[in-house]
Structure 1
Amino acid sequence: MPIALAVHGLANVRDLGGLEREDGSTTPAGVFVRAEVLDRVDAAGWDALRSHGVRTSIDLRRPEEITGSVPDDVLSLHVDLDGDERDFWAAFEADGRWGTPLYYADHLRELPHRLAAVLEAIASAPAGGILFHCGAGWDRTGLVAAVLLKATGVTEDAAAADYLASFANAESMRALHGRSFDVEERRAVLGRFGHTADSAFRAMYRQLDLHDWLRHAGVDAATERAIMTWRAL
């Protein structure tokens, strides 16, 4: 199961360590942390993140979504994972798939440079743990997490458990952030396409051939090595 963290100001935060790999080992803790928007993280919360080893924060949101700031001693990077390619996004926004894993495969195929830029930022970040986040810490963050988990051979069951943890955290997120994260709407969209959250994520994860995608995206050898080895840890 994902490693939940106690960070004041976050309700959908977890370490990607402790997840089962195909070879029977587990992923190392302290390398990658996923979360939602950081605006409510106070001094105590940042102390907890620093104590956990976080030294870099990567914000995956669009430029117009950017809010808040991080402490000066944490490197802050912004890499727009969505992009502004309206020809791509129009259909997904119209039918609601943008908030589900149902857009992942198309995004990877049609906008490979977007995720490639995130991976390059991860590979070139200084030593220490990396926190990456979007608004809800759900699907943009979920796409990056899925690729990182695939890279290190995490089992389908463990990767799906990580994705589904956001659904389990939804009520706590609503209480903390004071807004709905559209859980039932997400499920309704998935249902219209014959899926549950679990089946949609699993279908994408099962079909993802990361080595082929890295070639498709033109990811350089140093970045590939950093991602496949989780920064050589």
Structure 2
Amino acid sequence: MRAQREVDANSYAFDEASGVMRHHIPQQSEEMWAATRGLDRITSDVTMLDMAQSRFAQIADAIASAPEGGVLIHCEVGKDRTGLMTMVLLDLVGALEDVIAADYALTASGLAGVFAELIAKAETDARRARLQEEALCRAEVMLVIHRLFRKRTGGAESYLRAAGVSQASLDALRRRMLDGASRTT
């Protein structure tokens, strides 16, 4: 989900000979980056969901059509763009909003080292403060984003279908995510 400039600056750690298939589907365009620059997190994410709907659909199709086995989705850090795609996927399989928010909040511990390094390298107090806030990965922020997403789109199935994802792909996504998983709510 990384932009090409992110890939150019920090390429993937494997090559095609490793047997790992890679699909590079940038979630955002430069136009989207410009449209979300300076917005608060919630407004930025809702704008991304609106502007990048076709890209979310491409990512969903790539996951649905992947060979059997694990699938890794990620952006540069693994928090915002990855968090939104994960929210869409979890919503698709009927995860409760509290589960979606708690899953997002787990990102804070997983990225603690990354954010510590970014904060230490921050060149201004304003950037340091923004990074400290971003590092928290607040569950309540994801709750608001998820609620707005469902209110605006009707949920992941209608959102992805409106962008051209077939019912067969949606079914494949659900099977991939739920086969072998506990289906308790």
TM-score by length of 1: 0.60
Distance in 1 separating the partners of 2:144 and 2:3: 27
Residues 225 and 231 in structure 1, CA contact (< 8 A), matched pair in contact too: no
Partner residue, 1:90: 34
Q: Which residue among 214, 218, 222 is the counterpart of 2:160?
A: 214
**Rounded Cα–Cα distance in structure 2 between residues aligned with 1:183 and 1:204:** 24
Question: Take 1:78 and 1:68, find their aligned partners in 2: how far apart are those partners?
Answer: 10
Identity %: 29
How big is the shift at 1:231? 5.6
- The aligned length equals 161
Shift of 1:163: 0.8
Q: Equivalent residue for 2:52? A: 111
What residue number does 2:169 align with? Answer: 223
Structure 1 segment 37-186 matched on structure 2, within 5 A: 60-66=1-7, 67-70=11-14, 72-84=18-30, 86=31, 88-95=32-39, 97=40, 100-174=41-115, 178-180=117-119, 184-185=129-130
What are structure 1's unaligned runs of at least 5 residues?
A: 1-59, 190-195
* Separation in structure 2 between the aligned mates of residue 171 and residue 221 of structure 1, nearest angstrom: 38
Write the distance in 1 (CA, Å) between the matches of 2:102 and 2:65. 28
State the Cα distance separating 1:221 from its structure 2 match. 2.1
Give ranges in structure 2 of 5+ residues lacking alignment. Answer: 180-185
Cα distance change, pair 187–213 in 1 and its aligned pair in 2 (3 A): farther
1:145-182 residue CA offsets vs partner (Å, 9 max, x unmatched): 1111111111212211111122233432246xx43397
What is the DSSP-based 3-state SS (H/G/I as helix, E as strand, rest coil) of the residue aligned with 1:68?
A: coil
- The secondary structure found in structure 2 opposite 1:94 is coil
Find the aligned partners of 1:143 and 1:185 in 2 and give their Cα distance.
Answer: 19
Task: Compare the two structures and name the one with the higher helix fraction.
Answer: 2
8 A Cα contact 1:147 1:210, kept in partner: yes
**Alpha carbons of 1:93 and 1:225: their partners in 2 closer, same or farther (altered >3 Å)?**
same
Higher strand share: 1
Give the root-mean-square deviation of aligned CA atoms: 2.6
- Whether the 8 Å contact between 1:79 and 1:118 is mirrored in structure 2 is yes
Distance 1:145 1:91 in 2: 22
